[in-house]
Every structure is written in C-alpha cells, then in structure tokens.
Homo-oligomer: A and B are copies of this chain.
Amino acid sequence: MISVNEAKNLILDLCNSDRIQTLPLIQTCGSVLAESVLATIDTPPFHQSAMDGYAFVFELWDGVSPLMVIGEIQAGQISNKILKANEALRIFTGAAMPTGADTVVMQEKVMIQGSHILIQSPGLIKGNNVRLQGSQTMKGEIALNKGQLLTPAGISYLAGIGIRDVKVFKPTVSILVTGKELSTVSEVLESGKIFESNAIGLTAALQLLGINPETVEVVDDVEEELVQSIKSNLNVDLLILTGGVSVGDYDLVPKSLANCGVNKIFHTVKQKPGKPFYFGTYQQTLIFALPGNPAAVMTCFYEYIAPAISRFTKKEYFKSLLLPLSTDFVKKSGLTYFLKGKTSNHEVTILNQQESYLLNSFAIADCLIELEEDKEFVNQGENVRVLMII
C-alpha cells in the first residue's frame, strides 16, 4: 500500500509523452493545437469590397467627372468587365473587386445622376474601402501556432481559411464498468441489482474535460469476458475500469489485467475512499482500475485521472486551494481522507454522508477536502487543501 502522493507521482511520471488526435474542427474548441496550422489559401482569397458602394480605377479617374455605372457585382459573384476611365461598377460588401479596380467609394458618398455617380468624398484615396487579397493571412503563412488554445473565434478563423481537421493534444479514453449487480438505467430493477451509475458519471466527467470516451462498456464479472473486453480496449491512451479491484473471490480485474499483459505499477493506496485503486500500464496505455463504489470512482477521477488528462491536454481543470475547516474533525491516522465539502464565506464545511457507497453528499459538493495521511485530528480553523470541483 502506497501513499496518495506516491501514487500521484507514479501516475504523473508516466504522463510526459504527447497524445495527439486529428479531429474535425468542430470537435476541437477548448483544445490546444498540437501543431502549427498553415494557411492553405490567401484570405481574403481576392481583393474584396469592404463597403456597399462603387468600385473604380483610381488613376483612371480625373477627380471631378461623374463615373458611368456599367454594371453590378453582388457578394459571391465575379465580374469580367474591365473598367475604363471614368467608369465604375456597383459593388456590395464582400464582393470581389473587378480586375484593375483598386478603390471603392461608399454609397453614402455619391450623388446618383441617372446612369452616373458623382463622387462627393474629398478625402478619398487610392485603395480606400478595399480589403486586399491575403491581408489577413497569406497562403503558406502560419495561421495559428502550436500550443494555441482553440476558442470559438479560433475555430471560426480556421474554418474561414479552409481548414477542416486539426491536430490537438487530447488522449483517447475508454471506460469498462464491471459488476454482476449492475442494471443499466433503461431496465426495470431486478431483485438484488442496483442501477449502474459509474459509466454515465465518468462519461459526464470526461466530457467536462472535452473528451468523449471511445467506448463505454458494462462488462460481466466473468474472467473470459473481462479479458476479452480489456484486450479490445488496450488501444486507447487511458483505460478506466470500475469495480472488481478489491481482494474478494469475485474481484477479477487485477488478475484479468495481468492476463492481458498489463504491468502493475501499484495496487491499493492509503486513502479513503478508494483504497483498492489499481494503476498499471500496457505499452502507451495507462490503466486506472477503480473500486466500484460510486464515490470512490468520482474521487479517483478528480484526484488522479483529471490531473493525468491535464498533463496530456496541457490544460488546467480544477483549482486547488487552502481553506480553513469550519469544524473539528477526527480521522484515522494512516489514510488520506478525501471528503465531500462545500465552501462558503472563505471556509470549507465537511458534508454529512461521506460513506463511499453514498453519492447524495457528492452531488451537492463543490469541493473535495484532503486530510493528510498522518493526521488524527484537524482543528476548526486549520487550513486544509481543497480541490474545487464542478
């Protein structure tokens, strides 16, 4: 049995290589770019009018004569007309400039005289109201750098320069939930069974971190089935199992993992809840086998899995801080306690119903309070480490 800090360090030591996925742009908001993105086209892709107005060739205009309007270009259209001296084309915002034209006068700055316009814009100079081709980004230029967090504006920007897929720092994750007593929520509950809740809880937790699990399976506690499911899910970066990890006759997970060639790093941690927590590796895959009690599952998620994922995605998720405890608390020495808490007025209160099979306190908690392994008594007002959760 190792300490919480040893367990955390052993896990994080194995989270230093990059885990990169190429994903459709729409799935990457909130992720960090794993390679610089090069522009594949000039943007704008052509000289573009920035206004509703009239396009003309500045140097072919004598500065006083009315211009004859010889046609119109809407956004999305192109015109093959070549403008001659004292000619103009009606043009709209976003439309491609006609060949040779370099200047747009706003529609508000002209007087219309039949088929002609008279420009009334004393300050107008060559190039006004035109967005030059490539003025945002040139083909081949770096559009966004590796390491950039992708925001909605970043997604929109990349879509605008024709990018469809990007490489981001993001591990793949699968979930295997074990237990003969589990009923999925769509069924009627049979005697002796309970509704399965770890799969949905872990899926929701992963989605909070921007990760959709590759597979979520409820596996029967039968060794052959377990081995089969583990084997077919060892291709992900993180494999999370719940249940069957204790030392009971039907706790088949550690044995099944060994049968699959998984290298055990540790099994059992000096903590409450979640003492039977198992961690191992198989090539690049990290295997987190958690005890099946839902509060232990959630605690291990926040304390071990989220920090591991954070290393891979290069993002911060849950803030840790020190807060004074609102009451005295007595605990057993030799185990780190993770308690469901609620913060208010710059202190933190331990919620009732901390047993690992109960989730009602966890459901209203806004933090996990860590009470250190060697402590037997924590005084009211003493600072404790608090992990703020969502």
Contacts and interface: CB of A to CB of B under 8 A. Distances in A.
A58 to B, nearest CB: 21
Given A95-B192, A152-B301, A359-B136, A160 B76 contact: no
A171 interface: no
Given A162-B189, A249-B52, A76 B179 contact: yes
Contact of A45 (B135, B152, B189, B301): B189
A74 B390 contact: no
Contacts of A25: 185, 200
A339 to B, nearest CB: 13
Nearest to A188: B162
Nearest to A43: B194
A200 B150 CA distance: 13
Given A148-B364, A208-B152, A363-B154, A181 B75 contact: yes
Nearest to A298: B153
Given A30-B208, A207-B29, A201 B360 contact: no
A153 B362 contact: yes
Given A157-B360, A159-B196, A160-B359, A179 B390 contact: no
A266 interface: no
Contact of A52 (B246, B301, B355): B246
Interface residues of A, number: 92
Interface string A124-155: 00000001000111000001100011011111
Given A76-B179, A193-B76, A185 B164 contact: yes
Given A186-B164, A195-B159, A357 B44 contact: yes
| Chain A interface SS verdict (over half) | loop
A152 B192 contact: no
Nearest to A184: B159
Contacts of A196: 159
Interface in A155-179: 155-164, 179
Contact of A26 (B29, B191, B204): B204
28 contacts: A26-B204, A29-B208, A41-B189, A45-B194, A46-B191, A75-B192, A76-B179, A77-B192, A94-B194, A96-B192, A135-B358, A136-B353, A136-B357, A143-B360, A144-B363, A151-B363, A152-B202, A152-B208, A152-B301, A153-B359, A153-B365, A156-B200, A157-B359, A158-B363, A159-B195, A159-B196, A160-B195, A160-B197
Sorted nearest first, the 3 A-B pairs with minimum C-beta distance are A156-B201, A76-B180, A157-B359
